[in-house]
């Protein structure tokens, strides 16, 4: 177990002690061997009602063509991933609050469950409780909602303070999801401007408090048409790319040691930064050895994929590359199982 002081001192230096990685790998191997759960990620729309200062699909970005994938296209994608032997899909989009959107989501979940029996992860922002309940009863079982920033004071450095951007509502939604029965995934952005070790410690504490079934953290990567980009242009400093990459790796190891049993994702943002310096298999090897055990190749059609522009030069995370990369990194891709985290089994079969 790591004490507060140990964690803080880990966060204050750039080094990753060898024994931290060794310990994390020991825990990883004990609970999930060398397995890596694959989930097919489909980004159904880049339309968003929010204006997060770090995010490229923020509603104020007028340079971005907006898209919304239709059911026919989605069916084709489901067929494709089914043929590749996927059993787990993740559906992500900007935050859209509209009846039409909700009806579409219900159709998607119904199709994915009744026709393909996929295990479904949703990542659609802070939807109202009623629709979250409906989607659960139609068969969705996992929900990914990062809290992004752990304390209200810092949250409003990167968000407006209004009805659509409420720290309170984001946290409340996480508890609602748990209450409904979803396996909840959450996490935060690593290396935002104005970050420091003490803030990061608070992010870690909130993860410990929420005890999620899945942890999804990712390094912040600037995007041109965002408020934060303007700040960077004016000279506000952030950690360099390599340091952000390794800080994320270090955090994965810390979480594997602290919480042991949740799934932890090797995020696309992490892979985007890592592959600027290392071959993919090395990046995956860093992440998986530190304790990551989930990866989400993107199956959004290529035209739309480019428009899901959360940040610059997003890694083209294709199935084949990730599959081969995982094998080359000496880990084992798992597609034919849902990939529940150990935390889920412990909760349900005690």
Determine if 220 is a binding residue for ligand SAH (CB under 6 A).
yes
- What are the DSSP E strand ranges found in 224-268? 263-264
Binding residue for ligand SAH (CB under 6 A) from 88, 123, 183, 317?
123
Token representation of residue 15: 């080094």
Residue number, 95 or 203, with CB nearest to ligand SAH: 95
Determine if 245 is a binding residue for ligand SAH (CB under 6 A).
no
Determine if 105 is a binding residue for ligand SAH (CB under 6 A).
no
Site for ligand SAH in 175-194 (CB under 6 A): 189
CA 208-32-320 angle, to 5 degrees, is: 105
Applying CB under 6 A, the span of 92-100, 234-242, 255-263, 326-334 interacting with ligand SAH comes to 92-100
Cα distances (angstroms) measured from residue 228 to each of 55, 99, 238, 311, 333 = 9, 32, 11, 11, 36
Pick from 186, 327, 206, 150: which is nearest to 264 by CA? 186
Residue number, 125 or 212, with CB nearest to ligand SAH: 125
Determine if 304 is a binding residue for ligand SAH (CB under 6 A).
no
CB of 180 to ligand SAH, least distance (A): 16
- Tally DSSP H helices, then E strands, for the chain: 15, 12
Token representation of residue 87: 């059993």
DSSP 17-41: -HHHHHHHHHHHHHHHTTEEEE-EE
Pick from 336, 339, 306: which is nearest to 81 by CA? 336
CB of 338 to ligand SAH, least distance (A): 22
Determine if 147 is a binding residue for ligand SAH (CB under 6 A).
no
Determine if 213 is a binding residue for ligand SAH (CB under 6 A).
no
Determine if 54 is a binding residue for ligand SAH (CB under 6 A).
yes
CB of 105 to ligand SAH, least distance (A): 13
Residue 283 makes CB contacts below 8 A (sequence gap 6+) with 270, 271, 274, 275, 325
Binding site for ligand SAH (CB under 6 A): 54-55, 92, 94-95, 123, 125, 145-146, 148, 189, 218, 220-221, 223, 269, 310-311
């Amino acid at each position: 177990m790591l004490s507060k002081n140990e964690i803080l001192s880990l966060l204050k230096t750039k080094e990753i002690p060898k024994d931290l990685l060794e310990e994390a790998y020991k825990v990883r191997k004990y609970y999930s061997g060398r397995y890596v759960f694959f989930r097919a990620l489909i980004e159904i729309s880049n339309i968003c009602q929010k204006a997060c200062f770090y995010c490229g699909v923020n509603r104020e970005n007028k340079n971005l063509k907006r898209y919304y994938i239709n059911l026919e296209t989605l069916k084709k994608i489901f067929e494709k991933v089914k043929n590749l032997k996927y059993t787990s899909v993740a559906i992500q989009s900007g935050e859209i609050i509209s009846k039409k959107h909700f009806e579409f989501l219900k159709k998607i979940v119904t199709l994915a469950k009744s026709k393909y029996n996929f295990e479904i992860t949703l990542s659609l922002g802070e939807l109202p409780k009623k629709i979250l309940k409906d989607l659960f009863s139609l068969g969705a079982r996992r929900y990914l909602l990062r809290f992004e920033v752990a304390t209200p004071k810092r949250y409003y450095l990167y968000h407006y303070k209004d009805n659509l951007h409420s720290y309170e509502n984001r946290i409340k939604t996480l508890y609602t999801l748990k209450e409904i029965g979803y396996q909840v995934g959450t996490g935060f952005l690593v290396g935002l401007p104005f970050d420091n070790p003490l803030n990061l410690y608070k992010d870690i504490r909130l993860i410990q408090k929420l005890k999620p079934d899945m942890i999804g953290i990712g390094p912040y990567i600037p995007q041109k048409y965002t408020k934060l980009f303007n700040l960077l242009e004016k000279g506000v400093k952030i950690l360099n790319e390599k340091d952000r990459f390794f800080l994320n790796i270090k955090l994965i190891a810390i979480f594997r040691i602290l919480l042991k049993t949740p799934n932890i994702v090797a995020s696309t943002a992490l892979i985007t930064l890592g592959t600027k310096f290392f071959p993919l298999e090395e990046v995956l090897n860093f992440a998986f050895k530190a304790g990551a055990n989930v990866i989400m190749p993107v199956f959004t059609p290529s035209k739309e994929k480019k428009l899901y522009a959360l940040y610059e030069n997003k890694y083209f995370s294709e199935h084949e590359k990730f599959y081969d990369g995982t094998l080359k990194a000496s880990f084992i891709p798992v597609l034919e199982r849902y990939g529940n985290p150990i935390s889920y089994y412990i909760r349900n079969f005690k």
